[in-house]
């Protein structure tokens, strides 16, 4: 069976930077270390006045098509994953295709376009759809373009405001991919939850603390489900484990529970037994409460072991490097985590061809998905093509007052007339409203 997976990836970050410890925390009267140490965040990427989910998605897609030398005729499917859509009928992929048609000679009339919604896991679901379409032989030799794009903004004053972000990830899904191939095996943990939702409103209603617990619970189910179709997982099986990263502190919690699960009944649990004991088993306790106390105590000790710290530094920390500087990109977040890990591997000259990634996606509401990926021989060339460091360095660092203005500009209930903070160059920009209330776009040379 031919491999199917991610052939190429491009990332486009919002052009403004909100410094969380330096600008946001002082304005909120908070300790900067809540951000740097607690949440693990240094900055959020935010959209300038002329940016939105369409411009960011189209700019990422254009860069990808140019770098890979693609024309519209090469792409048979465009799926956009977003939880920031502004149109309940016309999918964002049509707007993005419209942008791309302004700069390419051909058009996308032949391409099946859609929009995927399940909070942040929708980006991974859109990849699934593309994978299945190719595997079913319906692609007529064409590749699929998947764009995960979001302006992850919370209402002013919401606790989630600390974890905002904006950006897009474009991915080309194809046979014989250059970057990673996807496993057929997948695991799911899915349940009707009311932790984070946007019932016909722009900014989410969030029960933040509960959302953290729901993330952990669904992730645990997805991992167990994955093991039921693949095989038991072991920390040494995977060179890196990219997680959905609403903020790095969330992944710190999830990774510890995942590691504890993976080492149960292995030589690692055995090797650590002298230092921290063996993992408590529920059957050895009279009630749930005493078991939960014991497992919490064990987990706390596990976190402090050299063995765990080394694994975390090698397999998790590299996947968080970009998230620390861009915040949460919702549907794009796990794909930023994968790119971040691979970028770290390239910069550190790690030989990871043929190695496995365990990819852990999550969307509120809620669903987790776990699958594995195999790093392909051409991964270095693909990752070397990313210019995300330059984009991050070029961002305009905004003051708190400017942040308030930017938030208003992107608030659908506010009327604003604000000059951009940066000058667009060789990119798509928002260009006002059309006669039917549609958003319009143009390419700026």
Alpha carbon distance 145, 79 (integer Å): 6
* Contact call for residues 438 and 78 (beta carbons, < 8 A): no
Report, in Å, the least distance between residue 306 CB and ligand CAA: 21
3-state secondary structure of 418: coil
Rule CB under 6 A: say whether 249 interacts with ligand CAA. Answer: yes
Residue 187 bridge partners (DSSP): 370
Q: What share of the chain is helix, strand, coil (3-state, %, to 5)?
A: 45, 25, 35
Active site residue 99: no
Select which of 10, 99, 115, 244 is catalytic: 244
120 is catalytic: yes
Pick the piece of the chain touching ligand CAA (CB under 6 A) from 29-37, 109-117, 225-233, 259-267: 29-37
Distance, in Å, from the CA atom of 142 to the CA atom of 343, rounded to the nearest integer, reads: 27
Residue 173 and residue 19: Cα distance in Å, rounded? Answer: 34
- Over the window 33 to 62, marking each residue x when it contacts ligand CAA by CB under 6 A and - when it does not, the resulting string is xx--xxx-----------------------
Helical H segments across 186-330, by residue range: 208-229, 248-263, 267-276, 288-303, 306-315, 323-326
Torsion of the alpha carbons at 313, 319, 320 and 326, rounded to the nearest 10 = 160
User: What whole-number distance in Å separates Cα of residue 183 and Cα of residue 276?
Assistant: 35
# chain residues binding ligand CAA, by CB under 6 A: 26
x-or-dash pattern for ligand CAA, window 179-218, by CB under 6 A? -----------------x---------x-xx-xx--x---
**CA 233, CA 126: separation in Å to the nearest integer?**
25
Phi, psi of 429 (to 5 degrees): -135, 155
Residues in the chain: 445
Q: Reduce the DSSP state of residue 20 to 3 states and report it.
A: helix
Position 384 contacts ligand CAA (CB under 6 A): no
- Whole-number Å distance between alpha carbons of 376 and 353: 6
Q: Is 83 a catalytic residue?
A: yes
In the list 250, 398, 409, 429, the residue contacting ligand CAA (rule: CB under 6 A) is 250
Identify the residue among 45, 55, 94, 163 touching ligand CAA (CB under 6 A): 163
CB of 35 to ligand CAA, least distance (A): 8
**Residue tagged active-site, from 10, 12, 115, 120:** 120
DSSP state of 316: T
Within positions 339 to 368, which residues make up the interface with ligand CAA, using CB under 6 A?
Answer: 362, 364
Query: Which is nearer to ligand CAA, 34 or 307 (by Cβ)?
Result: 34
**Annotated catalytic residue: which of 51, 83, 373, 427?**
83
Binding part of the chain for ligand CAA, among 56-64, 69-77, 159-167, 434-442 by CB under 6 A, reads 159-167
Cβ neighbours of 293 (radius 10 Å): 12
Nearer to ligand CAA, 113 or 252 (CB): 252
Q: Does 121 bind ligand CAA (CB under 6 A)?
A: no
Active site residues: 83, 120, 244
**What is the contact surface with ligand CAA in residues (CB under 6 A)?**
31, 33-34, 37-39, 120, 159-160, 162-163, 196, 206, 208-209, 211-212, 215, 244, 246, 249-250, 328, 330, 362, 364
């Amino acid at each position: 069976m031919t491999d199917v997976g991610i052939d190429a990836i491009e990332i486009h970050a919002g052009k403004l930077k909100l410094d969380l410890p330096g600008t946001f925390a002082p304005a909120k009267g908070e300790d900067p270390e809540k951000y740097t140490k607690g949440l693990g965040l240094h900055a959020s990427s935010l959209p300038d006045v002329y940016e939105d989910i369409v411009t960011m998605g189209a700019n990422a897609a254009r860069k990808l098509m140019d770098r890979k030398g693609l024309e519209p005729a090469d792409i048979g499917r465009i799926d956009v994953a977003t939880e920031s859509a502004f149109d309940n009928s016309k999918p964002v992929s049509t707007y993005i295709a419209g942008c791309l048609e302004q700069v390419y000679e051909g058009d996308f009339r032949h391409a099946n376009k859609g929009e995927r919604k399940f909070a942040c896991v929708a980006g991974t679901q859109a990849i699934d759809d593309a994978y299945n379409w190719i595997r079913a032989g319906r692609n007529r030799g064409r590749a699929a373009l998947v764009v995960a794009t979001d302006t992850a903004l919370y209402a002013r004053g919401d606790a989630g405001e600390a974890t905002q972000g904006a950006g897009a990830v474009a991915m080309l899904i194809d046979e014989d991919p250059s970057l990673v191939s996807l496993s057929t095996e997948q695991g799911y943990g899915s349940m009707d939850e009311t932790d984070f939702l946007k019932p016909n409103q722009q900014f989410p209603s969030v029960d933040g603390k509960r959302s953290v617990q729901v993330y952990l619970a669904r992730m645990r189910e997805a991992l167990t489900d994955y093991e039921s179709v693949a095989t038991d997982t072991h920390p040494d099986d995977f060179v890196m484990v990219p997680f959905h990263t609403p903020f790095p502190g969330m992944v710190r919690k999830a990774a510890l529970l995942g590691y504890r699960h993976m080492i149960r009944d292995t030589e690692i649990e055995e090797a650590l037994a002298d230092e921290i004991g063996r993992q408590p088993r529920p059957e050895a306790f009279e009630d749930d409460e005493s078991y939960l106390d014991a497992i919490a105590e064990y987990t706390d000790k596990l976190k402090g072991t050299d063995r765990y710290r080394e694994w975390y530094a090698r397999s998790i920390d590299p996947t968080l490097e970009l998230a620390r500087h861009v915040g949460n990109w919702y549907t794009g977040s796990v794909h930023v985590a994968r790119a971040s890990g691979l970028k770290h591997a390239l910069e550190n000259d790690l030989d990871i061809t043929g190695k496995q990634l365990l990819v852990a996606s999550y969307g509120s509401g809620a669903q987790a998905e776990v699958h594995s990926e195999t790093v392909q021989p051409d991964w270095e060339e693909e990752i070397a093509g990313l210019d995300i460091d330059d984009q991050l360095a070029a961002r305009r660092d905004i003051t708190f007052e400017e942040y308030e203005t930017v938030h208003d500009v992107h608030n659908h209930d506010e009327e604003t007339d604000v000059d951009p903070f940066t000058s667009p160059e060789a990119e798509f920009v928002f260009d006002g409203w059309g006669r039917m209330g549609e958003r319009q776009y143009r390419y700026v040379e």
